[in-house]
Amino acid sequence: MFSPKAPAVCAPLNAQLAYRTSDIAVNPLPPLSLYVHIPWCVKKCLYCDFNSHPLRDEASPKDYVEALINDLEAHRWQIQDREIQTVFFGGGTPSVFDPSLIGTIIHYVAENFSLSRDAEITLEANPGASDRTKFEGYRKAGVNRLSIGVQTTHDQLLEKLGRVHSGKEATSAISDAKFIFDNINVDLMFALPGQRIDELKTDLSRVFDFSPEHLSIYQLTIEPNTWFHRYPPKLPDDDLASEMQFEIESIAQKYGYTQYEVSAFAKLGRQCSHNLNYWEFGDYVGIGAGAHSKLSDKDGVKRVVKHKQPKRYMDAVSSGNAVVSSEIIAADALPFEFFMNVLRLNGGVSRDLFEKRTALPVGLVDSRLKSLEHRGLLTLSDSVIKTTPMGMRFLNEVLQDFL
pLDDT tens track for 198-226: 999 999 999 999 999 999 999 999 999 99
Backbone angles phi, psi at 299, to 5 degrees: -90, -15
179, 95, 72, 192: which is closest to 141 by C-alpha? Answer: 95
Query: Based on the number of CB atoms within 10 Å of its own CB, is 234 exposed (0-12), middle (13-18) or buried (19 or more)?
Result: exposed
pLDDT at residue 4 in the model: 32
Closest CA to 7 of 383, 336, 372: 372
Alpha-carbon distance 369 to 366, whole Å?
5
Residue 266, beta-bridge partner list: 214, 258
Q: Facing residues of 36 across strands?
A: 89, 287
Burial of 44 (0-12, 13-18, 19+ CB in 10 A): middle
Q: Is 3.20.20.70 the CATH number for 22-278?
A: yes
Report the distance separating Cα 10 and Cα 26, nearest Å: 29
pLDDT in tens, 159-174: 999 999 999 999 999 9
CATH architecture of 1-17+331-403: Orthogonal Bundle (1.10)
pLDDT in tens, 374-399: 999 999 998 999 999 999 988 988 99
Q: What is the pTM of this model?
A: 0.92
Strand partners, 189: 218
Q: Where are the beta strands (DSSP E) in 307-377?
A: 323-328, 349-350
| DSSP 3-state of 203 | helix
What's the burial of 399, exposed, middle or buried (CB within 10 Å: 0-12/13-18/19+)?
middle
Position with higher pLDDT, 104 vs 13? 104
Task: Report pLDDT digits (tens) over 30-82.
Answer: 999 999 999 999 888 989 888 888 877 667 899 999 999 999 999 999 999 99
Neighbouring residues of 254: CB distance < 8 A, sequence distance ≥ 6:
none
Q: Where in the chain is the domain with CATH 1.10.10?
A: 1-17+331-403
SS3 category, 1: coil
Report the pLDDT value the prediction gives residue 3, as an integer from 0 to 100.
34
Q: Where does CATH 3.20.20.70 sit in the chain?
A: 22-278
Q: What's the sign of the alpha-carbon dihedral 79, 81, 82, 84? A: positive
Is the pLDDT at 23 greater than 60, yes or no? no
